[in-house]
Chains A and B, each alone.
Chain A
Amino acid sequence: MKIHIKLLANYQKYLPPDCSSSSYEAEVPPDVRVEDVLAQLPVPLEESVVLVNGRTPQPGQALQEGDVLCLFPAIGGG
């Protein structure tokens, strides 16, 4: 199934080179867990905020077709 991986703020440098927006499509096994996808990403996970469709995922949560998995570094500002 396909999901969208969105990388914001300083994590934009981890986007694929040909990616013109903040997100790209990724092919993952059906019902894959959030943690399993995160483990495959080149992003430092400590001090990161992880969201699925804009909300904080539950531990062990499985992803669904079309979900948006978003990561950005934990830092305040505004």
Chain B
Amino acid sequence: MYGWNGRILRVNLTTGETSVEEVDPRTARDFIGGRGWAIRYLYNEMDPRVDPLSPENKLVFSTGPLTATPVPTGNRYMVTTKSPLTGAISCSNSGGFFPTEMKRTGFDLFIFEGRAERPVYLWVNDDRVELRPADHLWGRTVFETEDMLRAETDPRARVACIGPAGERLAPIAAILNDKHRAAARSGVGAVMGSKNLKAVVVRGTRRIPLARPDELKALADQVVEEVKQAVAAGKATLRTYGTAYVPPVTNEVGILPTYNFRTGVFAGAEAISGRVLSEKYLIRPKACYGCPIACGRLTRVEDPVFGGEGEGPEYETIGALGSACGVDNLAAITKANYICNELGLDTISVGMTIACAMEMYELGLIPESDIGRPLRFGDAQAVVEMVRLAGLREGFGDLIAQGSYRLASHYGHPEFSMSAKKQEFPAYDPRGAKGMGLLYATSNIGASHMAGDTAYMEVFGVPKKVDPLSWEDKPRLVKYFEDIFTIVDAAGLCVFLSIRYLFEPTYNVEPVRISRLMEYATGAGYDEETLLEAGERVYNLERMFLVRAGFSRADDTLPPRMLHEPMPEGPAKGHVVELDRMLPEYYRLRGWDENGVPTKEKLAELGLL
């Protein structure tokens, strides 16, 4: 096989046995890799109705055919499992250096089953596979765990692990790799914790065989050259400011989540921008493996209260821990980000959950005695303290660690949770970007910007600008973005490079460059049409997992605030999300029935019957 290793490592944590399986070429091609292979195995092997934190749930780490190839940003891996936050499938993905190292061990996928009796970690050194005791690591932070594991395995090894939040089964716990990169969403860290699996350590030296290496290298080099030209021309905003450049942009269009999505306009947007981050805290930009963009931020905060050093914050983190909480103190947001990485928390879900708690506290729906302190919007110190408590599940942090839906429901008011399928919104108020509204509502993984981020076109003008306030054209746009994000995830690439450089500049044109790269890597017979169909196949199989888990149209919805409370101010003033008008058309375009279930005809067309 080319592009793929074609091998899966299966780890039974209950018995301690490991085994190696080959992947047949047709499955490889039809499901692409990464997220696609993961759902193919999970769907065939497990009952989607199982308790996510039981030994019956399975956990899959997967790379794609372009991971660890010369294709720029071929550095992603995905974590797929039944989510304890949503009860649906997860597709949490991360970059850094771990994914490339994992692929170079000679395995594309790790499948974890069962539950270890005592804490363990997996050590994969090329073909040598070992489950080792991890009692000495239990309770340790992410940073301590990585340092100790590299010391006792190989200083060149790469580590993905959980912190205290995952050990304590927080439904918003992340899996961190390379200390600061996170497969953050949907509580995948808690699934790892439930299996007593503290860490996965990899060291790989295998080169990935490619079907047409010269052609792949030539096209990859051309893309790198285009990025370099953009950098040289001073256009590379992500290099200059990281994703932190975004708050003033979303604020300008009136969709920067503020005060738990009461409004989309925040007076402190400039104070929490990339410009301030660069001036005050940036040490230098940091790239993942093989990335010419370098959007990562290595930062240091010198401050008596919020001091520290690490990576971040990203835009989503700033939106959640900053504007959504009414906080305009970038030092505090950065500190809260460091703590999330250290303890293993999803910055989006924890920030948005604190915002939810702040609104409910101010309305008198949560008594101060439960929290142990006042919790008003704008209180930076309270945000940092709540993040720490959530990561340790101590005091009021135990409720925050369960996410906003469970917290708000605990006090009898789930409507204050700004979530879809119980997963917190990312930092775009969908009332001012209607595609994002339809995406949050229908996404297989609950609200997420990584499921098919139509803000690319609605807000950022990539590959071209569309009106964010119109709804008529959005069902088609959402379907297309969901399918192409599926391809990018399954291939093992980063969306930042892919959407801009690997697709044609109108969304009704086929994904030309990425299909050529896929074909040069694998030689499996990909062209634009077969690749788009494979993306749609994977998306539909994920949907079938949800259907079998008991999800239906009733779950493809948004909080009442998004549907009935018009945006109070700014460019999106007066707007709500017209979900009822978009949903039927979206289902029709998908080939799903009026209950959101793929029809027999659609499944047959995709070879899924």
What residues of chain A have their CB less than 8 Å away from a CB belonging to chain B? 6, 8-10, 12-13, 21-22, 44, 47-49, 51, 53-56, 68, 70, 72-78
Contacts A9-B237, A12-B275 given; does A76 touch B496 at CB 8 Å? yes
Cβ-defined partner of A76 (8 Å) among B234, B250, B253, B453: B453
- A residues less than 8 Å from B499 (CB atoms): 76
Contacts A10-B236, A13-B234, A22-B270 given; does A77 touch B252 at CB 8 Å? no
Cβ-defined partner of B253 (8 Å) among A44, A51, A74, A77: A51
One of B376-384, B460-468, B510-518, B589-597 contacting the partner: B460-468
Contacts A77-B246, A78-B243 given; does A70 touch B236 at CB 8 Å? no
C-alpha spacing A56/B458, complex, angstroms = 10
Q: B273-292, CB under 8 A of A: which get 1 and which 0?
A: 01100000000000000000
A10 adjacent to B237 (CB under 8 Å): yes
Contacts A9-B249, A54-B253, A55-B571 given; does A77 touch B235 at CB 8 Å? no
For window 556-573 of B, CB contacts with A under 8 Å fall at 570-572
Q: Using a Cβ–Cβ cut-off of 8 Å, how many residues does chain B contribute to the interface with A?
A: 44
Q: B145-164, CB under 8 A of A: which get 1 and which 0?
A: 00000000000000000000
C-alpha spacing A51/B495, complex, angstroms = 25
CB-nearest residue of chain A to B469: A55
Nearest-neighbour CB distance to chain B for A57, whole angstroms, equals 11
B240 adjacent to A74 (CB under 8 Å): no
C-alpha spacing A74/B295, complex, angstroms = 16
CB-nearest residue of chain B to A21: B270
- B residues less than 8 Å from A48 (CB atoms): 461
C-alpha spacing A21/B428, complex, angstroms = 23
- A residues less than 8 Å from B572 (CB atoms): 54
- List 11 interface pairs A-B (beta carbons < 8 Å), by A numbering: A9-B241, A10-B240, A22-B270, A44-B235, A56-B467, A72-B237, A74-B462, A76-B496, A76-B499, A77-B243, A78-B453
B495 adjacent to A76 (CB under 8 Å): yes
CB-nearest residue of chain B to A6: B252
C-alpha spacing A8/B461, complex, angstroms = 14
B449 at the A interface (CB under 8 A) = yes
CB-nearest residue of chain A to B253: A54
B391 at the A interface (CB under 8 A) = no
- B residues less than 8 Å from A54 (CB atoms): 252-254, 570-572
